[in-house]
Amino acid sequence: MTHLRARFLVILAALGLCLLSRTQPTRGDEAAEQLVLATYKVAGEGSTATCIAVRHETEGKEGHNFVVTAGHVLEQMKGDTCTLVARKRLDDGRYHRQEVRLPIREGGRPLWTRHGRHDLAVLPLPAAIEVETLPFDCLPTEEQLAAVRVGDALRLAVFPERAEANAAGIPILRSGSIASHPIVPVDPHPVFFVDTTSWSGDSGGPVIHATLRSPSGGPMVIGIIRGMRRITETLKESRFVERRIHYPLGISEVLHATFLRTIIEKAVEEKSVPEEDVTEE
């Protein structure tokens, strides 16, 4: 009887530990915070969406900061400037919102570099704009992507329906998982799916792996949100009237961030970063 009681207590303790581990909340980490702080809202007439700031540095040369987003975000903006919702951390820990004008065209000519085949673009930031950035190695090589698997957990920093986490313009951190296979090679599979709903304003949002890290220890940005996957139903209400209804599938389309490495390097070689002053709004 004593033996059976001891076995029962052991089983009970094991079940307790199992339940405890399942009820413990999952904590964030420094990589998620780095992602949030380097993610910004970019707004212009005709388009408001999400972008991240990436810094490219070459030994012996001046470093450059870039805005990284979906190509259609910048193409749909009208005029020569847009607004970047930046922020500054104050001594008391608060963040002060700073909306600055960002040049996107010069004489009608785009200042950004677009990928030749995919909906991705990078825009050089004037040196006068101070932002938190992610290092260039946060964008993985195809070899590094070989460690990514379908079902892996992800995090996304976005502005769904243009909503901000607070008045300082901080993005909203969301989560999901990779819903398609295979991930590599990237050329025949430039887009992968994430099991999370995307909204207007999410385009250009960075997607990081929940556990994999860049060589410098920061977040690994494996993709940039292109848009949502949906189905469309056409209802014929009369001989002359049809009504179309769009149903979101709760799936986001994401472009591989690997493609950004080549266009940032191209932008460094071919474009000079604007040096003109920017004005805070």
pLDDT in tens, 8-29: 454 445 545 444 444 344 456 8
Confidence band, pLDDT 50/70/90 cuts, at residue 6: low
> What CA–CA distance (Å, rounded) separates 71 from 89?
30
CATH classification code of 30-270: 2.40.10.120
pLDDT of 273 strictly over 70: no
Mean of all residue pLDDT scores within the chain: 88
**What is the CA angle 175-177-183, rounded to 5?**
135
pLDDT score of 7 more than 80: no
Per-residue model confidence (pLDDT) at position 118: 96
pLDDT digits (tens, 9 = 90+) for 205-258: 999 999 999 999 999 999 999 998 877 888 888 878 888 887 778 999 999 999
Confidence of residue 34 (pLDDT cuts 50, 70, 90): very high
How far apart CA 226 and CA 203 sit, in angstroms, is 5
**Predicted pLDDT of residue 26:** 47
The whole-number pLDDT of residue 236 equals 82
Read off the pLDDT of each residue in 185-198 and give the average, rounded to a whole number. 95
Evaluated on CA atoms 33, 37, 38, 39, the torsion sign reads: positive
- Report the range of poorest mean pLDDT among 18-22, 31-35, 127-131: 18-22
Listed in sequence order, the DSSP H helices in 139-257 are 142-145
Each domain of the chain, given as residue ranges in start order, spans: 30-270
| Three-class DSSP category at 13 | helix
177, burial (CB in 10 Å: exposed 0-12, middle 13-18, buried 19+): middle
Predicted pLDDT at 82: 97
With tokens 């998620």, the residue in question is 32
pLDDT digits 0-9 by tens, 89-117: 999 999 999 999 999 999 999 999 999 99
